[in-house]
Amino acid sequence: MNRDRHYMQMALELAAKARGRTSPNPMVGAVIVKDGRVVGRGFHARAGSAHAEVVALAEAGEQARGATVYVTLEPCCHHGRTGPCTEALLKAGVQRVVAAMTDPNPLVAGKGLAVLQKAGVEVACGLLAEEARRLNEVFIKYITTGRPFVVMKAATSLDGKIATATGESKWITNTAARAYGHRLRDMYDAILVGVNTVLTDDPSLTARLPEGRGKDPIRVILDSNARTPTATKILTQLSAAHTIIATTEQAPVERRASLLAAGAEVLVVPGEGPRVDLVRLMEMLAEKEITSVLIEGGGQVNGAALAAGIVDKIVWFLAPKIIGGDRAPGPVRGQGILSLQDAVKLFDVSVERLDEDILITGYTAERGSNPFLPV
C-alpha cells in the first residue's frame, strides 16, 4: 500500500506540471510500474494533446504488458478530441489500473473503470482521492455545474484597506506577494475586473512571470454601460489573450460597436437589473469553455460577487501596514450583512508567509455541496 501511495504521488506531481494549461480538460498524470520499476511516465500537457496514459504507454512500450498503471483520474472511455484511454490500456495488455478518483464527467463517471474490469483488468480506485480532487477543483466545478471555478483575490493592509483615501494602492503588498499574484493569473483561464479599475489604473492584466513564461488570462471587464476606452492597455497591448467586455442591453449601441472595432468581444448579458448579472455571466463564460475566473476587482465587484454566490475560493494577501482613515476604501463593499450568522464563512483555511506578508486561502461554504470536491 505504501508503494502504491508512492507511485500515485508521483502521478499527481506529473499531472501538476500542466497546471493552467489543460483547460477545459483536467490535469492528469500516469505512472506505469513493472517488477517494482517505473517503465513509463506521462501527463496531459494541453487540451487536444495525448492523454497521460497514452504518453506513459508510449514510453513503456512492450514493458506495459502485465504492468500496473497509476493514474490520477479514471481513464476515459469515450471519443473526444482524442480516442478512449481504456482502449489503449487494453491493447497494451496492462494487468492492473489504480485510479485516484472516478471522472466526474457524465460521459465517463465510472464507465471507464467498468470497461477495464469487465475485460479482466484488476481495478482499484480512491487512493489519494482528496489530493486528486483538490488538484482538479477547477475541472470538477466546471464539468458538474456548468459554471467556472471562481477565485476572489484581495490584498489589504492590516486594518483592511485596499488603498489610501486618495486612491493610492501601489504597493500595499510586497514583491513576493505580487509575484504570487502573477502566478495565479497564469493558472486560471480568465481574470475579471470592473470598469472602474480600467478607468482608474489602466491595467495590463497580464501574467508577468520570469523569462516571459506567463500565460495571459482572458480579460473580462464588467462594464454595464460600455464605458471602456478603446485606447486602454487591455485593448491595445500585444497579448495572446483577448478581452471580453461584459455589458447590458442598456449600453449604447455605438459604444458597443466601437469596442468591437477595437478588437474586444462584447458580451451582452441578459438580466433585469442595471448591472451585469454575474450568475448569468458565469454561465455564458462556461459556454465558451472558460473553466476558471480570477476576480481582481475592487470593493464593489468583490461585494457583488460574494452576494451573487459565485465565489468558490478566496485568496487574501495581508500586508503588515496600517493605513487608517474613514475614507480609505475596503475590499468588500455593497449592502453587506446585518447578522453575523449570514457572514460568508470559509473552510479548509491555510495560512502562509510571503516574506513579511501573510497569505490566507480558504473555500466558501457552497463548495461542500459538490460530492466530488473535498470538504
Helix orientation angle between 278-287 and 299-308, rounded to the nearest 10 degrees: 80
CATH architecture classification, 1-139: 3-Layer(aba) Sandwich (3.40)
Indicate the domain borders of the chain.
1-139, 147-363
Average pLDDT over residues 158-186: 88
Question: Residue ranges for the binding site for Zn(2+)?
Answer: 51, 76, 85
Beta bridge partners, 317, equal 155, 359
Average pLDDT over residues 345-372: 83
Cα separation, 44 vs 82, in Å, equals 11
> In CATH, which of 3.30.750.200, 3.40.430.10, 3.40.50.300, 3.10.290.10 is domain 147-363?
3.40.430.10
137: Cβ contacts below 8 Å, ≥ 6 apart: 149, 312, 313, 373
Average pLDDT over residues 51-71: 96
Quick one: pLDDT band at residue 339, thresholds 50, 70, 90?
Answer: confident
In this predicted structure, the answer to whether residue 366 has a pLDDT above a threshold of 60 is no
Q: Are 177 and 185 in contact (CB under 8 A)?
A: no
Active site residue 53: yes
- Domain 1-139 and domain 147-363, same fold? Reply is no
127: Cβ contacts below 8 Å, ≥ 6 apart: 4, 5, 8, 98, 99, 100
Mean of the per-residue pLDDT values of the chain: 91
If you write DSSP's letter for every residue of 47-64 in order, what string do you get?
TTSPPHHHHHHHHHGGGG
Cα separation, 248 vs 313, in Å, equals 27
Cα separation, 155 vs 331, in Å, equals 8
pLDDT tens for 109-130 read 888 999 999 999 999 999 999 9
pLDDT tens for 5-49 read 999 999 999 999 999 999 999 999 999 999 999 999 999 999 889
pLDDT tens for 192-241 read 999 999 998 899 999 988 877 889 999 999 999 999 999 999 999 999 99
Determine the pLDDT at residue 171: 83
Question: Residue ranges for the binding site?
Answer: 51, 76, 85, 155, 169, 171, 185, 197, 201, 205, 208, 224, 296, 298-304
Beta bridge partners, 150, equal 293
- Distance, first Cα to last Cα, the chain: 24
* pTM of structure: 0.91
pLDDT tens for 267-326 read 999 988 789 999 999 999 999 999 999 999 888 999 999 999 999 999 999 999 998 888
Query: Closest Cα to residue 194, out of 345, 296, 266?
Result: 296
Determine the pLDDT at residue 1: 63
Question: Residue ranges for the binding site for NADP(+)?
Answer: 155, 169, 171, 197, 201, 224, 298-304
Grid cell 450568475 — which residue? 279
Q: Of the residues 13, 53, 87, 254, which is catalytic?
A: 53
Quick one: pLDDT band at residue 168, thresholds 50, 70, 90?
Answer: confident
Backbone angles phi, psi at 146, to 5 degrees: 75, 20
In this predicted structure, the answer to whether residue 365 has a pLDDT above a threshold of 80 is no
